[in-house]
Amino acid sequence: MDQNKIWESFGIKTDKQNPRALAVNTVLAGKYLVGPVLGEGGFGITYAGYDLNMETRIAIKEYFPVELVTRDTTRRSAGDSGAASGGAVSGSSVSGAFASNNLASGSSASVSGVSSSGGGSDRVISLSGEKSKTYQQGLKKYVDEARNVSQFADIPGIVSVKDFFYENNTAYIV
């Protein structure tokens, strides 16, 4: 199926995207298609998404504190709409629970960037010095939030965490 038709079928327009956001139709973790931005806050960007395996709509939250990071888009070609296929988290150093996405575990993970194999790079780059340290502390809190929320998946009124992973030198909650 044409990826843009997925968004059209949901009534979502893909014509405008914040340049600091992931490009529409980027694939994360080899199975999540990134759609347009739904919202942005001080610490992250929320995207419409589509699970390519389950063929269902999802939301994808990306840890992206705008005051602490920038995005490396230098390898995107001029005509690239961002249809980069991030693929699996190969090239990333992920240990313990996150290799199997077991969020309740106390395991830690080290994060390194993953370049998209489609020619573009959407790697998040933390700014230097104290901002880098603050970014790493915030990333840890983001991970803790994912673990905590994942424990309440069956409670009505609380959003359920379907998946969690590291890619592009940041973390994502599905």
Annotation: binding site for ATP: 61
Contact 12, 24 (CB under 8 A): no
Contact 59, 1 (CB under 8 A): no
CA 170, chain centre distance (Å): 7
Residue 9 makes CB contacts below 8 A (sequence gap 6+) with none
As annotated, the binding site includes 61
Mapped onto helix, strand or coil, the DSSP state of residue 156 is coil
Per DSSP, what are the bridge partners of residue 56? 51
Contact 7, 14 (CB under 8 A): yes
